[in-house]
Structure 1
Amino acid sequence: MTLIRSAIFNVLIWTWTLVCLIGILVVGPFLDAPGVRAYARRWERGIIFLLRWVVGIRHEVRGLQHLPAEPVIIASKHQSAWETLTFHTIVHELSVGLKYELTRIPVFGHYLVKSGCIRIDRGAAAKALKSLVDGAERAMAAGRHVMIFPEGTRRSPGAPPDYKPGVAALYKQLGRPCVPVALNSGAFWGRRSFAKRPGTIVIEFLEPIPAGLARAAFMRTLEERIETATARLVAEAGGSTAELASAQKLSSRA
Protein backbone atom coordinates (compact mmCIF):
# COMPACT_ATOMS: atom_id res chain seq x y z
CA MET A 1 0.00 0.00 0.00
CA THR A 2 2.87 2.40 0.81
CA LEU A 3 4.36 1.96 -2.66
CA ILE A 4 0.98 2.44 -4.35
CA ARG A 5 0.32 5.63 -2.39
CA SER A 6 3.82 6.87 -3.18
CA ALA A 7 3.29 6.24 -6.90
CA ILE A 8 -0.04 8.10 -6.87
CA PHE A 9 1.60 10.99 -5.01
CA ASN A 10 4.39 11.21 -7.59
CA VAL A 11 1.88 11.43 -10.45
CA LEU A 12 -0.19 14.07 -8.64
CA ILE A 13 2.75 16.22 -7.56
CA TRP A 14 4.02 16.48 -11.13
CA THR A 15 0.52 17.23 -12.39
CA TRP A 16 0.07 19.94 -9.76
CA THR A 17 3.52 21.38 -10.56
CA LEU A 18 2.67 21.53 -14.28
CA VAL A 19 -0.57 23.36 -13.49
CA CYS A 20 1.34 25.87 -11.35
CA LEU A 21 3.99 26.39 -14.04
CA ILE A 22 1.29 27.15 -16.60
CA GLY A 23 -0.31 29.53 -14.10
CA ILE A 24 2.94 31.42 -13.43
CA LEU A 25 3.38 31.98 -17.17
CA VAL A 26 0.08 33.86 -17.10
CA VAL A 27 0.33 35.83 -13.85
CA GLY A 28 4.09 35.86 -13.26
CA PRO A 29 4.91 39.01 -15.28
CA PHE A 30 2.55 40.98 -13.03
CA LEU A 31 4.01 39.72 -9.72
CA ASP A 32 6.69 41.41 -7.64
CA ALA A 33 9.06 39.41 -5.38
CA PRO A 34 6.57 39.06 -2.47
CA GLY A 35 3.91 38.04 -4.99
CA VAL A 36 6.15 35.33 -6.44
CA ARG A 37 6.85 34.02 -2.93
CA ALA A 38 3.12 33.98 -2.16
CA TYR A 39 2.46 32.07 -5.40
CA ALA A 40 5.20 29.57 -4.49
CA ARG A 41 3.58 29.04 -1.09
CA ARG A 42 0.33 28.07 -2.84
CA TRP A 43 2.26 25.48 -4.83
CA GLU A 44 3.92 24.19 -1.65
CA ARG A 45 0.62 24.04 0.24
CA GLY A 46 -0.77 21.91 -2.58
CA ILE A 47 2.12 19.49 -2.09
CA ILE A 48 1.53 19.45 1.67
CA PHE A 49 -2.15 18.66 1.01
CA LEU A 50 -1.19 15.75 -1.28
CA LEU A 51 1.29 14.41 1.26
CA ARG A 52 -1.37 14.43 3.95
CA TRP A 53 -4.30 12.94 2.03
CA VAL A 54 -2.48 10.59 -0.36
CA VAL A 55 0.58 9.44 1.58
CA GLY A 56 -0.53 10.13 5.16
CA ILE A 57 2.36 12.45 6.05
CA ARG A 58 1.51 15.37 8.32
CA HIS A 59 3.87 17.77 10.04
CA GLU A 60 4.22 19.58 13.34
CA VAL A 61 6.22 22.77 13.94
CA ARG A 62 7.83 23.34 17.33
CA GLY A 63 9.87 26.17 18.81
CA LEU A 64 8.79 29.03 16.52
CA GLN A 65 9.10 31.29 19.56
CA HIS A 66 12.87 30.95 19.12
CA LEU A 67 12.74 32.73 15.74
CA PRO A 68 13.27 36.48 16.29
CA ALA A 69 11.35 39.10 14.32
CA GLU A 70 14.59 40.63 12.99
CA PRO A 71 16.42 38.74 10.21
CA VAL A 72 18.71 35.92 11.36
CA ILE A 73 20.54 32.96 9.87
CA ILE A 74 18.50 29.75 9.96
CA ALA A 75 20.73 26.66 9.85
CA SER A 76 18.65 23.55 9.23
CA LYS A 77 19.30 19.83 9.21
CA HIS A 78 18.63 18.47 5.71
CA GLN A 79 17.33 14.90 5.39
CA SER A 80 14.68 15.04 2.69
CA ALA A 81 13.09 16.94 -0.17
CA TRP A 82 10.30 17.68 2.31
CA GLU A 83 11.95 20.68 3.97
CA THR A 84 12.82 22.31 0.66
CA LEU A 85 9.14 22.09 -0.30
CA THR A 86 7.75 23.23 3.06
CA PHE A 87 10.01 25.81 4.68
CA HIS A 88 8.47 28.85 2.95
CA THR A 89 5.03 27.95 4.31
CA ILE A 90 6.47 28.08 7.84
CA VAL A 91 8.72 31.16 7.48
CA HIS A 92 7.27 33.49 4.85
CA GLU A 93 10.02 36.11 4.64
CA LEU A 94 12.89 33.82 3.77
CA SER A 95 15.73 33.65 1.27
CA VAL A 96 17.51 30.37 0.58
CA GLY A 97 20.94 29.82 -0.93
CA LEU A 98 20.66 27.84 -4.17
CA LYS A 99 23.07 26.34 -6.65
CA TYR A 100 23.50 28.68 -9.62
CA GLU A 101 22.54 25.83 -11.97
CA LEU A 102 18.99 25.75 -10.57
CA THR A 103 18.43 29.34 -11.64
CA ARG A 104 19.16 28.38 -15.26
CA ILE A 105 16.13 26.06 -15.49
CA PRO A 106 13.66 27.66 -17.96
CA VAL A 107 10.73 29.48 -16.28
CA PHE A 108 11.39 27.88 -12.87
CA GLY A 109 14.86 29.41 -12.57
CA HIS A 110 13.69 32.86 -13.60
CA TYR A 111 11.11 32.96 -10.82
CA LEU A 112 13.55 31.55 -8.27
CA VAL A 113 15.69 34.63 -8.88
CA LYS A 114 12.68 36.96 -8.94
CA SER A 115 11.48 35.59 -5.58
CA GLY A 116 14.71 36.69 -3.88
CA CYS A 117 16.59 33.38 -3.64
CA ILE A 118 20.35 33.65 -3.29
CA ARG A 119 22.35 32.35 -6.24
CA ILE A 120 25.57 30.66 -5.14
CA ASP A 121 28.37 30.49 -7.67
CA ARG A 122 29.82 27.01 -7.17
CA GLY A 123 33.17 27.83 -8.75
CA ALA A 124 36.13 28.73 -6.55
CA ALA A 125 35.42 28.59 -2.82
CA ALA A 126 36.11 32.29 -2.29
CA LYS A 127 33.78 33.25 -5.14
CA ALA A 128 31.04 30.96 -3.87
CA LEU A 129 31.29 32.40 -0.36
CA LYS A 130 31.23 35.98 -1.67
CA SER A 131 28.08 35.31 -3.70
CA LEU A 132 26.42 33.74 -0.64
CA VAL A 133 27.37 36.58 1.72
CA ASP A 134 26.44 39.32 -0.77
CA GLY A 135 23.06 37.70 -1.42
CA ALA A 136 22.45 37.18 2.31
CA GLU A 137 23.24 40.83 3.07
CA ARG A 138 20.74 41.98 0.42
CA ALA A 139 18.08 39.60 1.77
CA MET A 140 18.55 40.75 5.37
CA ALA A 141 18.50 44.42 4.31
CA ALA A 142 15.09 43.67 2.80
CA GLY A 143 13.92 42.14 6.09
CA ARG A 144 14.19 38.45 5.18
CA HIS A 145 15.74 35.59 7.14
CA VAL A 146 18.47 33.61 5.38
CA MET A 147 18.37 29.82 5.45
CA ILE A 148 21.30 27.51 4.85
CA PHE A 149 21.74 23.75 5.07
CA PRO A 150 25.11 23.61 6.88
CA GLU A 151 25.90 20.10 5.61
CA GLY A 152 25.26 21.21 2.04
CA THR A 153 23.23 18.18 1.01
CA ARG A 154 20.71 15.66 2.37
CA ARG A 155 21.97 13.26 5.03
CA SER A 156 20.05 10.11 5.98
CA PRO A 157 19.14 9.52 9.63
CA GLY A 158 22.11 7.81 11.23
CA ALA A 159 24.67 9.20 8.76
CA PRO A 160 27.67 10.88 10.44
CA PRO A 161 27.30 14.69 10.52
CA ASP A 162 29.30 16.60 7.90
CA TYR A 163 29.09 20.33 8.65
CA LYS A 164 30.76 22.55 6.06
CA PRO A 165 32.70 25.76 6.86
CA GLY A 166 30.37 27.96 4.79
CA VAL A 167 27.88 28.41 7.63
CA ALA A 168 30.66 29.65 9.98
CA ALA A 169 31.86 32.14 7.38
CA LEU A 170 28.31 33.40 6.86
CA TYR A 171 27.81 33.70 10.64
CA LYS A 172 31.04 35.72 10.99
CA GLN A 173 30.46 37.99 8.00
CA LEU A 174 26.85 38.82 8.78
CA GLY A 175 27.29 39.26 12.52
CA ARG A 176 23.77 37.95 13.17
CA PRO A 177 22.42 35.26 15.51
CA CYS A 178 21.88 31.78 14.10
CA VAL A 179 18.78 29.69 14.78
CA PRO A 180 19.50 25.93 14.52
CA VAL A 181 16.70 23.71 13.20
CA ALA A 182 16.31 19.96 13.80
CA LEU A 183 13.88 17.63 12.04
CA ASN A 184 13.09 13.99 11.32
CA SER A 185 11.77 14.22 7.74
CA GLY A 186 14.17 11.53 6.56
CA ALA A 187 12.35 8.96 8.67
CA PHE A 188 9.28 9.36 6.45
CA TRP A 189 10.56 10.63 3.07
CA GLY A 190 14.08 9.34 2.77
CA ARG A 191 16.95 10.56 0.64
CA ARG A 192 16.67 8.92 -2.80
CA SER A 193 13.77 6.85 -1.52
CA PHE A 194 10.68 6.27 -3.66
CA ALA A 195 8.55 4.99 -0.76
CA LYS A 196 7.14 7.53 1.68
CA ARG A 197 6.11 6.32 5.14
CA PRO A 198 2.96 7.78 6.76
CA GLY A 199 3.38 9.62 10.04
CA THR A 200 4.09 13.07 11.48
CA ILE A 201 7.25 14.92 10.52
CA VAL A 202 8.46 17.20 13.31
CA ILE A 203 10.52 20.31 12.59
CA GLU A 204 11.89 22.13 15.63
CA PHE A 205 13.43 25.60 15.86
CA LEU A 206 16.04 25.59 18.62
CA GLU A 207 17.44 28.26 20.91
CA PRO A 208 19.35 30.90 18.90
CA ILE A 209 23.12 30.99 18.99
CA PRO A 210 24.11 34.61 19.70
CA ALA A 211 26.35 36.51 17.31
CA GLY A 212 30.03 36.93 18.07
CA LEU A 213 31.20 33.45 19.05
CA ALA A 214 34.60 32.24 17.88
CA ARG A 215 34.44 29.98 14.82
CA ALA A 216 35.25 26.73 16.65
CA ALA A 217 32.79 27.47 19.47
CA PHE A 218 30.06 28.34 16.98
CA MET A 219 30.52 25.19 14.89
CA ARG A 220 30.64 22.99 18.00
CA THR A 221 27.49 24.57 19.44
CA LEU A 222 25.61 24.41 16.12
CA GLU A 223 26.41 20.75 15.49
CA GLU A 224 25.73 19.76 19.10
CA ARG A 225 22.31 21.39 19.20
CA ILE A 226 21.13 20.17 15.80
CA GLU A 227 22.41 16.62 16.13
CA THR A 228 21.15 16.13 19.70
CA ALA A 229 17.66 17.39 18.85
CA THR A 230 17.58 15.50 15.55
CA ALA A 231 18.45 12.20 17.25
CA ARG A 232 15.61 12.82 19.72
CA LEU A 233 13.13 13.56 16.92
CA VAL A 234 14.21 10.54 14.87
CA ALA A 235 13.71 8.33 17.94
CA GLU A 236 10.29 9.91 18.36
CA ALA A 237 9.51 8.93 14.77
CA GLY A 238 9.64 5.30 15.77
CA GLY A 239 13.14 3.88 15.76
CA SER A 240 16.85 4.41 16.22
CA THR A 241 18.78 6.29 13.55
CA ALA A 242 20.51 3.06 12.54
CA GLU A 243 17.21 1.19 12.14
CA LEU A 244 15.67 3.98 10.07
CA ALA A 245 18.73 4.30 7.89
CA SER A 246 18.60 0.57 7.18
CA ALA A 247 14.86 0.75 6.37
CA GLN A 248 15.46 3.60 3.95
CA LYS A 249 18.15 1.64 2.11
CA LEU A 250 15.68 -1.18 1.60
CA SER A 251 12.89 1.14 0.42
CA SER A 252 15.22 2.90 -2.03
CA ARG A 253 15.90 -0.47 -3.68
CA ALA A 254 12.18 -1.24 -3.98
Structure 2
Amino acid sequence: MSSVLSFARSLLFTVAFYLVTAVMMIGGLPALATRRGVLWLAQTWARVVLRLLHGIVGLKVEFRGLEHRPAGAVLVAAKHQSALETLALVTVLDDFTYILKRELMWLPLFGWYLARGEMVAIDRSKGSRALALMNEEAAAAMADGRRLIIFPEGTRRAPGAAPAYKYGVAHMYDRLGVPCLPVALNTGAFWGRRRLTYRPGTAVIEFLPAIPPGVPRDTFFADLQERIETASDALLREAGLPGSARTALRAQET
Protein backbone atom coordinates (compact mmCIF):
# COMPACT_ATOMS: atom_id res chain seq x y z
CA MET A 1 0.00 0.00 0.00
CA SER A 2 2.81 2.41 0.84
CA SER A 3 4.38 1.94 -2.61
CA VAL A 4 1.02 2.63 -4.26
CA LEU A 5 0.58 5.78 -2.18
CA SER A 6 4.12 6.89 -3.00
CA PHE A 7 3.48 6.38 -6.72
CA ALA A 8 0.20 8.30 -6.50
CA ARG A 9 1.89 11.22 -4.76
CA SER A 10 4.72 11.24 -7.27
CA LEU A 11 2.24 11.23 -10.15
CA LEU A 12 0.17 14.01 -8.59
CA PHE A 13 3.24 16.16 -8.02
CA THR A 14 4.44 15.57 -11.59
CA VAL A 15 1.10 16.73 -12.99
CA ALA A 16 1.07 19.75 -10.67
CA PHE A 17 4.68 20.59 -11.58
CA TYR A 18 4.05 20.68 -15.32
CA LEU A 19 0.75 22.49 -14.94
CA VAL A 20 2.26 25.22 -12.75
CA THR A 21 5.26 25.50 -15.07
CA ALA A 22 3.06 25.93 -18.15
CA VAL A 23 0.80 28.48 -16.46
CA MET A 24 3.72 30.54 -15.15
CA MET A 25 5.63 30.47 -18.44
CA ILE A 26 2.61 31.69 -20.39
CA GLY A 27 1.29 34.07 -17.77
CA GLY A 28 4.79 35.37 -17.06
CA LEU A 29 5.55 36.48 -20.62
CA PRO A 30 5.54 40.18 -19.59
CA ALA A 31 8.54 39.36 -17.37
CA LEU A 32 10.58 38.95 -20.56
CA ALA A 33 10.72 42.75 -20.72
CA THR A 34 13.71 42.77 -18.34
CA ARG A 35 16.32 40.35 -17.03
CA ARG A 36 15.32 41.21 -13.48
CA GLY A 37 11.74 40.26 -14.32
CA VAL A 38 12.88 36.86 -15.57
CA LEU A 39 14.94 36.21 -12.43
CA TRP A 40 12.00 37.18 -10.21
CA LEU A 41 9.68 34.86 -12.14
CA ALA A 42 12.20 32.00 -11.90
CA GLN A 43 12.54 32.43 -8.14
CA THR A 44 8.76 32.62 -7.70
CA TRP A 45 8.28 29.49 -9.81
CA ALA A 46 10.93 27.61 -7.84
CA ARG A 47 9.37 28.55 -4.48
CA VAL A 48 5.92 27.44 -5.66
CA VAL A 49 7.32 24.10 -6.88
CA LEU A 50 9.15 23.51 -3.59
CA ARG A 51 5.93 24.16 -1.67
CA LEU A 52 4.05 21.71 -3.89
CA LEU A 53 6.80 19.16 -3.38
CA HIS A 54 6.53 19.49 0.39
CA GLY A 55 2.74 19.54 0.43
CA ILE A 56 2.15 16.63 -1.97
CA VAL A 57 5.16 14.37 -1.56
CA GLY A 58 6.30 15.34 1.92
CA LEU A 59 9.76 16.27 0.64
CA LYS A 60 11.26 19.51 1.88
CA VAL A 61 14.60 21.18 1.23
CA GLU A 62 16.89 22.31 4.05
CA PHE A 63 19.68 24.79 3.33
CA ARG A 64 22.80 24.79 5.46
CA GLY A 65 25.82 27.07 5.48
CA LEU A 66 24.00 30.07 4.02
CA GLU A 67 26.38 32.24 6.03
CA HIS A 68 29.20 31.06 3.74
CA ARG A 69 27.76 32.90 0.74
CA PRO A 70 30.17 35.75 -0.04
CA ALA A 71 28.91 39.14 -1.17
CA GLY A 72 29.34 40.08 -4.80
CA ALA A 73 30.57 37.97 -7.69
CA VAL A 74 31.13 34.30 -6.91
CA LEU A 75 31.50 31.02 -8.78
CA VAL A 76 29.06 28.50 -7.27
CA ALA A 77 30.24 24.92 -7.92
CA ALA A 78 27.53 22.41 -6.97
CA LYS A 79 27.20 18.66 -6.86
CA HIS A 80 24.52 17.55 -9.32
CA GLN A 81 22.31 14.56 -8.47
CA SER A 82 18.83 15.62 -9.58
CA ALA A 83 16.72 18.45 -10.95
CA LEU A 84 15.88 19.50 -7.38
CA GLU A 85 19.05 21.52 -6.79
CA THR A 86 18.57 23.33 -10.10
CA LEU A 87 15.26 24.62 -8.76
CA ALA A 88 16.23 25.14 -5.16
CA LEU A 89 19.48 27.05 -5.61
CA VAL A 90 17.81 30.03 -7.28
CA THR A 91 15.68 30.62 -4.18
CA VAL A 92 18.73 31.49 -2.07
CA LEU A 93 21.07 33.02 -4.67
CA ASP A 94 20.19 36.47 -5.92
CA ASP A 95 21.27 37.70 -9.37
CA PHE A 96 22.08 34.17 -10.50
CA THR A 97 23.35 32.95 -13.87
CA TYR A 98 23.50 29.27 -14.82
CA ILE A 99 26.05 27.64 -17.09
CA LEU A 100 24.02 25.23 -19.22
CA LYS A 101 24.07 23.34 -22.48
CA ARG A 102 23.11 25.32 -25.56
CA GLU A 103 20.31 22.92 -26.56
CA LEU A 104 18.16 24.18 -23.68
CA MET A 105 18.04 27.61 -25.32
CA TRP A 106 16.14 26.08 -28.25
CA LEU A 107 13.18 24.95 -26.15
CA PRO A 108 9.93 26.86 -26.91
CA LEU A 109 9.17 29.52 -24.30
CA PHE A 110 11.61 28.09 -21.76
CA GLY A 111 14.52 28.95 -24.03
CA TRP A 112 13.27 32.52 -24.32
CA TYR A 113 13.46 32.91 -20.56
CA LEU A 114 16.96 31.45 -20.45
CA ALA A 115 18.16 33.82 -23.14
CA ARG A 116 16.55 36.89 -21.54
CA GLY A 117 17.96 35.84 -18.18
CA GLU A 118 21.41 35.92 -19.83
CA MET A 119 22.37 32.37 -18.93
CA VAL A 120 25.75 31.19 -20.21
CA ALA A 121 25.20 28.53 -22.88
CA ILE A 122 27.85 25.98 -23.87
CA ASP A 123 28.03 24.91 -27.51
CA ARG A 124 29.74 21.54 -27.17
CA SER A 125 30.08 21.21 -30.94
CA LYS A 126 32.81 23.87 -30.84
CA GLY A 127 35.16 21.65 -28.84
CA SER A 128 37.98 23.54 -27.09
CA ARG A 129 36.64 26.81 -28.48
CA ALA A 130 33.51 26.25 -26.38
CA LEU A 131 35.57 26.58 -23.20
CA ALA A 132 37.06 29.88 -24.34
CA LEU A 133 33.64 31.28 -25.28
CA MET A 134 32.16 30.10 -21.98
CA ASN A 135 34.94 31.80 -20.03
CA GLU A 136 34.38 35.04 -21.93
CA GLU A 137 30.67 35.07 -21.10
CA ALA A 138 31.38 34.04 -17.52
CA ALA A 139 33.83 36.93 -17.14
CA ALA A 140 31.13 39.35 -18.34
CA ALA A 141 28.73 37.94 -15.74
CA MET A 142 31.34 38.36 -13.01
CA ALA A 143 31.85 41.97 -14.01
CA ASP A 144 28.18 42.50 -13.11
CA GLY A 145 28.66 40.89 -9.70
CA ARG A 146 26.51 37.84 -10.39
CA ARG A 147 26.32 34.39 -8.79
CA LEU A 148 27.54 32.08 -11.55
CA ILE A 149 26.29 28.52 -10.97
CA ILE A 150 28.12 25.57 -12.53
CA PHE A 151 27.85 21.82 -12.10
CA PRO A 152 31.52 20.74 -12.40
CA GLU A 153 30.61 17.17 -13.39
CA GLY A 154 28.58 18.49 -16.32
CA THR A 155 25.61 16.20 -15.78
CA ARG A 156 23.60 14.52 -13.03
CA ARG A 157 25.34 11.72 -11.18
CA ALA A 158 23.60 8.99 -9.20
CA PRO A 159 24.08 9.10 -5.41
CA GLY A 160 27.32 7.35 -4.53
CA ALA A 161 28.60 7.26 -8.11
CA ALA A 162 32.31 7.83 -8.64
CA PRO A 163 32.98 11.56 -9.15
CA ALA A 164 33.58 12.77 -12.71
CA TYR A 165 34.66 16.41 -12.41
CA LYS A 166 35.66 18.29 -15.55
CA TYR A 167 38.81 20.40 -15.41
CA GLY A 168 36.97 23.28 -17.07
CA VAL A 169 35.84 24.49 -13.64
CA ALA A 170 39.50 25.01 -12.67
CA HIS A 171 40.17 26.98 -15.86
CA MET A 172 37.13 29.13 -15.13
CA TYR A 173 38.10 29.72 -11.50
CA ASP A 174 41.61 30.73 -12.57
CA ARG A 175 40.31 33.06 -15.29
CA LEU A 176 37.61 34.77 -13.22
CA GLY A 177 39.62 35.57 -10.11
CA VAL A 178 36.62 35.35 -7.76
CA PRO A 179 35.84 33.11 -4.76
CA CYS A 180 34.39 29.67 -5.45
CA LEU A 181 31.52 28.48 -3.28
CA PRO A 182 31.36 24.64 -3.14
CA VAL A 183 27.91 23.09 -2.66
CA ALA A 184 27.31 19.57 -1.33
CA LEU A 185 23.94 17.83 -1.32
CA ASN A 186 21.98 14.59 -1.03
CA THR A 187 19.02 15.42 -3.28
CA GLY A 188 19.48 12.28 -5.36
CA ALA A 189 18.35 10.22 -2.38
CA PHE A 190 14.89 11.78 -2.69
CA TRP A 191 14.37 12.93 -6.31
CA GLY A 192 14.92 10.32 -9.03
CA ARG A 193 17.65 11.14 -11.52
CA ARG A 194 15.94 9.56 -14.54
CA ARG A 195 12.56 8.50 -13.19
CA LEU A 196 9.76 10.75 -11.99
CA THR A 197 9.91 9.35 -8.48
CA TYR A 198 10.09 11.35 -5.28
CA ARG A 199 10.60 10.19 -1.70
CA PRO A 200 9.38 12.01 1.43
CA GLY A 201 11.99 13.37 3.80
CA THR A 202 14.42 16.26 4.03
CA ALA A 203 16.87 16.87 1.21
CA VAL A 204 19.87 18.93 2.32
CA ILE A 205 21.79 21.45 0.24
CA GLU A 206 24.90 22.64 2.07
CA PHE A 207 27.06 25.64 1.18
CA LEU A 208 30.64 24.98 2.25
CA PRO A 209 33.26 27.61 3.12
CA ALA A 210 34.31 29.51 0.01
CA ILE A 211 37.67 28.87 -1.65
CA PRO A 212 39.37 32.26 -2.04
CA PRO A 213 40.70 33.38 -5.43
CA GLY A 214 44.33 32.84 -6.33
CA VAL A 215 44.74 29.17 -5.45
CA PRO A 216 46.81 27.27 -8.09
CA ARG A 217 44.52 25.47 -10.54
CA ASP A 218 45.57 21.91 -9.73
CA THR A 219 45.35 22.55 -5.99
CA PHE A 220 41.96 24.17 -6.40
CA PHE A 221 40.63 21.32 -8.54
CA ALA A 222 41.67 18.66 -6.02
CA ASP A 223 40.42 20.69 -3.05
CA LEU A 224 37.04 21.39 -4.68
CA GLN A 225 36.40 17.70 -5.34
CA GLU A 226 37.53 16.67 -1.87
CA ARG A 227 35.28 19.21 -0.15
CA ILE A 228 32.17 18.50 -2.20
CA GLU A 229 32.51 14.71 -2.24
CA THR A 230 33.32 14.38 1.47
CA ALA A 231 30.40 16.58 2.50
CA SER A 232 28.00 14.97 0.00
CA ASP A 233 28.89 11.48 1.22
CA ALA A 234 28.18 12.60 4.79
CA LEU A 235 24.79 13.96 3.71
CA LEU A 236 23.97 10.70 1.90
CA ARG A 237 24.73 8.78 5.08
CA GLU A 238 22.48 11.20 6.95
CA ALA A 239 19.75 10.35 4.43
CA GLY A 240 20.18 6.68 5.25
CA LEU A 241 22.25 5.63 2.24
CA PRO A 242 25.56 4.38 3.62
CA GLY A 243 27.76 1.91 1.79
CA SER A 244 25.91 -0.86 0.01
CA ALA A 245 22.58 1.00 0.15
CA ARG A 246 24.04 3.74 -2.01
CA THR A 247 25.37 1.14 -4.42
CA ALA A 248 21.94 -0.48 -4.63
CA LEU A 249 20.24 2.84 -5.36
CA ARG A 250 22.78 3.62 -8.07
CA ALA A 251 22.13 0.25 -9.72
CA GLN A 252 18.38 0.86 -9.53
CA GLU A 253 18.59 4.19 -11.38
CA THR A 254 20.99 3.20 -14.16
**1:166 & 1:10 partners in 2: Cα distance?**
34
Residue correspondence of structure 1 range 125-140 to structure 2 within 5 A: 125-140=127-142
Q: Deviation above 3 Å: which 4+ runs of structure 1?
A: 247-250
**1:245 & 1:33 partners in 2: Cα distance?**
42
Instruction: Point out the more displaced range, 70-79 or 119-128.
Output: 119-128
Q: What is the total number of aligned residue pairs between the two structures?
A: 250
Q: Is the 8 A contact 1:188 1:197 kept in 2?
A: yes
**2:224 & 2:87 partners in 1: Cα distance?**
23
- Provide structure 2 residue ranges, at least 5 long, that are not aligned to the other structure: none
**1:138 & 1:190 partners in 2: Cα distance?**
35
SS of the aligned residue for 1:123 comes to: helix
Shift of residue 242 of structure 1?
Answer: 3.7
The amino acid of 1:108's aligned partner reads: F
SS of the aligned residue for 1:39 comes to: helix
Aligned counterpart, 2:12 = 8
RMSD: 1.5
Aligned counterpart, 1:28 = 31
**2:15 & 2:250 partners in 1: Cα distance?**
21
Residue correspondence of structure 1 range 44-193 to structure 2 within 5 A: 44-193=46-195
SS of the aligned residue for 1:227 comes to: helix
**2:59 & 2:66 partners in 1: Cα distance?**
21
Shift of residue 215 of structure 1?
Answer: 1.8
Aligned counterpart, 2:236 = 234
Q: Is the 8 A contact 1:231 1:241 kept in 2?
A: no
Cα 1:55/1:87, change in 2 over 3 Å:
same
**2:59 & 2:250 partners in 1: Cα distance?**
16
Q: Is the 8 A contact 1:60 1:202 kept in 2?
A: yes
- Provide structure 1 residue ranges, at least 5 long, that are not aligned to the other structure: none
Q: TM-score of the superposition, structure 2-length normalised?
A: 0.94
**1:152 & 1:165 partners in 2: Cα distance?**
10
* Cα deviation 1:205-241 (Å, max 9, x = unaligned): 1111121222221111001000000011011111215
Q: TM-score of the superposition, structure 1-length normalised?
A: 0.94
Residue correspondence of structure 1 range 208-227 to structure 2 within 5 A: 208-227=210-229
Shift of residue 245 of structure 1?
Answer: 4.3
Shift of residue 85 of structure 1?
Answer: 1.4
Q: Is the 8 A contact 1:75 1:150 kept in 2?
A: yes
Q: Is the 8 A contact 1:56 1:198 kept in 2?
A: yes
**2:85 & 2:107 partners in 1: Cα distance?**
21
Cα 1:22/1:245, change in 2 over 3 Å:
farther
